[in-house]
Amino acid sequence: MSDAAVLGLTRCAWATPQRPEELLYHDTEWGVPVRDDRVHFEFLVLESAQAGLSWYSILRRRAAYRRAFAAFDPVQVAGYPASAVDALLHDEGIIRNRAKITAAINNAARLLEVQQAFGSFNTYVWGFVGGGPLHIPRTNWADVPATSPESIALARDLKARGFQFLGPTTLYAYLQATGLVNDHLQSCFRYPQVAALG
């Protein structure tokens, strides 16, 4: 896509040309329905890591997270020994927060349990939105909530299943990222494109 095309498109306010990684993420990934358990796990890890920080700070570290967490393979991450936490605390490429790191490892094991119970994490999580994406037409970014009934219900259920560091706000961001909710503004060029995906 040319620079003129990039600059000429109307986007959600948070995606700006000054941050090319964020722009690319908005234009190609954000809100696209995810059906792969590994990608679901990736966004659970990244959104949890983002808690209290900017999304851009995590997006810039995504490749380091991919290396640190075995390309987001939940089987491998669930098998990390206790010593892996200390090693990850010395990895300058990721957010070195013990609670977030141990939560990611714990959540990998819990995700495997959900797979056993439901056949896949994908089947489980899409059940919270009735099996298809929620398309909520909004015209103003200020109208986008921090939580939703779905993120609150998901947070409650995940907590009961032993997941950690995944509250309703973090999970609403996860629902947006993985396309369970299409929160592109109606004026954004991606809204109709994402809506057409499901």
The first and second tokens of residue 163, run together, are 């997941």
Q: Which position among 29, 55, 56, 113 bears the catalytic label?
A: 55
pLDDT attached to residue 6: 58
pLDDT attached to residue 78: 99
Q: Which position among 47, 65, 126, 172 bears the catalytic label?
A: 47
* Residue 131 DSSP SS3: coil
pLDDT attached to residue 16: 87
Cα gap 149→72, rounded to integer Å: 28
Q: 100 with 106: CB under 8 angstroms?
A: no
Q: What is the dihedral of CA 130, 135, 138, 144, to 10 degrees?
A: 50
CA-nearest of 147, 151, 141 to 183 is 141
CA-nearest of 185, 170, 141 to 31 is 185
Burial code (b: 16+ CB inside 10 Å, e: under 16) for 38-58 equals ebbbbbbbbbbbbbeeebeeb
Q: Is 126 a catalytic residue?
A: no
Q: 146 with 169: CB under 8 angstroms?
A: yes
Name 131's Cβ contacts closer than 8 Å, sequence gap at least 6: none
Q: Is 21 a catalytic residue?
A: no
Q: Is 47 a catalytic residue?
A: yes
pTM comes to: 0.94
pLDDT attached to residue 3: 44
CA-nearest of 31, 43, 35, 25 to 191 is 31
CATH 1.10.340.30, applies to 18-23+34-195: yes
Per DSSP (E only), the strands in the chain are 134-135, 181-182
Q: Which position among 14, 25, 29, 56 bears the catalytic label?
A: 25
How would you write the pLDDT of the chain (198 residues) with one tens digit per residue?
444 345 689 999 999 889 999 999 999 999 999 999 999 999 999 999 999 999 999 999 999 999 999 999 999 999 999 999 999 999 999 999 999 999 999 999 999 999 999 999 999 999 999 999 999 899 999 999 999 999 999 999 999 999 999 999 999 999 999 999 999 999 999 999 999 998
How many secondary structure helices (H) and strands (E) does the chain include?
12, 2
pLDDT attached to residue 144: 95
Strand partners, 134: 181
* Residue 182 DSSP SS3: strand
